[in-house]
Amino acid sequence: MKLKSHLHGKRGADLLHDPLLNKGTAFTEAERDALGLRGLLPPHVATQDQQVARVLETVRRKPTDLERYIYLISLQERNENLFYRLVTDHVTEMMPLIYTPTVGLACQRYALIFRRPRGLFLSLHDRGRVKQVLQNWPHADVRMIVVTDGERILGLGDLGANGMGIPVGKLSLYTACAGVAPDQCLPVMLDVGTNNAAFLQDPHYIGTAQPRERGPAYDALVAEFVAAVQEIFPRACIQFEDFGNANAFRLLREYRDKICTFNDDIQGTASVTLAGVYSALRLTQGRLADQRFLFLGAGEAGIGIGELIVGALRAEGVSEDAARRQCWYVDSQGLVVAGRTDLVEHKRRFAHDHPGATSLLAAVETLQPTMLIGVSGMPATFTEPVVRALARCNARPVVFALSNPTSKAECTAEQAYTWSEGRAIFASGSPFPDFVLNGRTYQSGQGNNSYIFPGVGLGIIVSQSQRVTDEMFFVAAKVLASLVTEQDLAVGRVYPNLQRIREVSAAIATAVAQVVFQRGLTQMLCPEDLAARVKAQMYDPNYPDYV
């Protein structure tokens, strides 16, 4: 009886303890005999479909979403194929549990729910030996790395090393949504301390209990990490995730033209938002060149969206100055205008000559924007007066409340629809339930980056791109918008049904890879059938035969 080579000689208990190879009760009679599993498993041989039904029922019986998260992570730690079959088969139900909004609470309580380590923790104490730490990772062919320093976890702020839940969750979505093989994914936490006072006093905190490091020591750790990745995992793309504004912008500037890297908070959020804008224009019958955008929040997400919108407008023949005049921002100090002296560099590019406004409502009433986009992390800031003011100057006001998790959303779907008498075009970062108003059911779209980054990452991996460009995110937005159906729009959804996410990711990956080959960003030759190559590379969570 011949064994498959990908078992790497594992058998018996060692095989059952390897989450990439374990099939649990689905090992066949022949496999149990050949692999030394007889007696180590209950006698009943289950199919994977039966296992999926069983774990789905278990998930649904858990009393809270956090308990469901803990159960799902434990399933991932013992049987990755089953975990990903469950998630891909029931992605609409599972994604809010393994990522936003539940992952935010999981990060806040990470020390208490920590079971088995996933990924690598690099601290300031590892300076000078980062390469050796990376070599401890058991998988050699790493293609996608998600790294955070935990300073700005979703809209929850500085969670330090507890923020490791974000890279772990993001990479789960790479696999579930785009079929990036789980052994090609590496979550990394750069533990440089935390300024979270509660964590510094918490005896259970899992990270380095010291104030957050700034300056040369911080930069040296990041530089050593980047250099070590180039040596140990030369085909890997580094995704920077949930860094604070100051570090996020400058690290992207520092490395984007040197290595294969991107920042999802800046570029991925921009892409999924632009896609939503394109879809909204199908409902308003408007033109991009005629829109005026008002952002609440001028950090990574807001500025990233604005820059990509400027690029999209320029592609339609609008001058850069005119394009920037279509994007306006409100930050914690009010409207971002040229007369302010407190603006950091990334805000000054969108600071226009205009009288100031101290509130969002005043800005809406003065500027009369067509689209209001919330990326502030400040809940309940799209108040009834704000939404009603927007609705007075637009037949179909566009309201995107994109802050995550749900508790940080600028307004709810129900509020947006109610305050606009059902005329709003609404999207949010985390999901909201369907809402019925005057006999009509509204299914708001989820403007989540998971529509974008998995497909972009897959395209980079398939093409072995040496760089990541803004053009890739522009193309991804166009592809995503093109996949929104008339049926989606009819119920108010500006994104495709989430159940189509693997189809969406494959299409985005193909388009991104085409950009890579067209721009000469790889040494690979373009395959004759690129779409087929993309689909062939996607991980299949169905169990393989071992004998």
Same domain assignment for residues 148 and 250: yes
- Active-site annotation, residues: 99, 170
In a domain, 274, yes or no: yes
Predicted confidence (pLDDT) per residue in 321-343, tens digit:
999 999 999 999 999 999 999 99
- 244, part of any domain: yes
The answer as to whether 314 is a domain residue is yes
Asked whether 389 and 364 are in contact (CB, 8 A), the reply is yes
Cα 82 to Cα 489: distance, rounded to the nearest angstrom: 34
The pLDDT score that the predictor gives to residue 115 is: 85
At 423, list the tokens: 């005329």
- pLDDT higher at 406 or 385: 385
Q: What is the mean pLDDT of residues 106-135?
A: 94
| Residue carrying the six token digits 């179909």 | 396
| CA atoms of 112 and 490, how far apart (whole Å) | 44
Same structural domain, 440 and 302: yes
**Residues 282 and 211 reside in one and the same domain:** no
CB 135 within 8 A of CB 209: no
Residue 207 lies in a domain: yes
- DSSP secondary structure of 145-173: EEEE-SSS-TTS---GGGGGHHHHHHHHH
Task: List, for residues 224-245, the tens digit of each pLDDT value.
Answer: 999 999 999 999 999 999 999 9
Confirm whether 514 is domain-assigned: no
C-beta of residue 511 within 8 angstroms of C-beta of residue 463? no
**Does 96 have pLDDT greater than 50?**
yes
Higher pLDDT, 114 or 452: 452
Q: DSSP characters for 291-328?
A: --EEEE--SHHHHHHHHHHHHHHHHTT--HHHHHTTEE
Residue 379 covered by a domain: yes
Check whether residue 345 and residue 363 sit in a common domain.
yes
> Residue 362: which CATH number?
3.40.50.720
Q: Name the domain count of the chain.
A: 3
Residue 484 lies in a domain: no
Same domain for 175 and 299, yes or no, is no
Whether 37 is in a domain gets the answer yes
Could you tell me if 181 and 281 lie in one domain? no
Structural domain ending residue among the three candidates 206, 225, 259? 259
401 and 377 Cβ atoms separated by less than 8 Å: no
Residues in the chain: 547
Whether residue 477 is predicted with pLDDT greater than 80 in this model: the reply is yes
Residues 142 and 231 in one domain: yes
Residue 212 is encoded by which pair of tokens?
């957050």
Q: Respond yes or no on whether the N-terminal peptide bond of residue 405 is cis (omega within 30° of 0).
A: yes
DSSP 8-state assignment for residue 337: B
**Which residues sit opposite 426 in a β-bridge?**
399
pLDDT (tens digit per residue) in 19-68 = 999 999 999 999 999 999 999 999 999 999 999 999 999 999 999 999 99
* Cα distance between residue 261 and residue 146, in whole Å: 10
Check residue 213 and give its pLDDT.
Answer: 96
Residue 411 pLDDT > 90, yes or no?
yes
- Boundary residue ending a domain (259, 291, 311): 259
Mean pLDDT for the stretch of residues 164-182: 97
Residues 436 and 289 in one domain: yes
Q: Residue 28's domain is classified under what CATH number?
A: 1.20.1370.30
**Cβ neighbours, 10 Å, residue 132:** 11
CATH number at residue 225: 3.40.50.10380
Claim to verify: residue 164 and residue 232 sit in the same structural domain: yes
What is the chain's alpha carbon radius of gyration, rounded to the nearest angstrom? 24
The domain boundary, picked from 54, 69, 98, lies at: 98
- pLDDT bin (cut points 50, 70, 90) of residue 1 is very low
CB 325 within 8 A of CB 359: no
- Determine the straight-line distance between the first and last CA of the chain, rounded to whole angstroms: 7
What's the rounded Cα separation, in Å, for the pair 247 and 254? 10
pLDDT at residue 258 in the model: 98
Domain containing 65 equals 5-98
Is there a single domain that holds both residue 291 and residue 239?
no
Task: Take residue 472 and report the two structure tokens written for it.
Answer: 């890739």
Q: 5 falls in which pLDDT band (50, 70, 90)?
A: low
Task: Give yes or no: residues 61 and 119 share one domain.
Answer: no
Shared-domain flag, residues 179 and 197: yes
- The model's pLDDT over 140-157, given as tens digits with 9 standing for 90+, comes to 999 999 999 999 999 899
Instruction: Compute CA distances 329 → 98, 293, 314, 342, 374, whole Å.
Output: 32, 8, 20, 14, 10
What average pLDDT does this structure show over 310-316? 97
Residue from 236, 310, 240, 237 nearest 270 by CA: 310
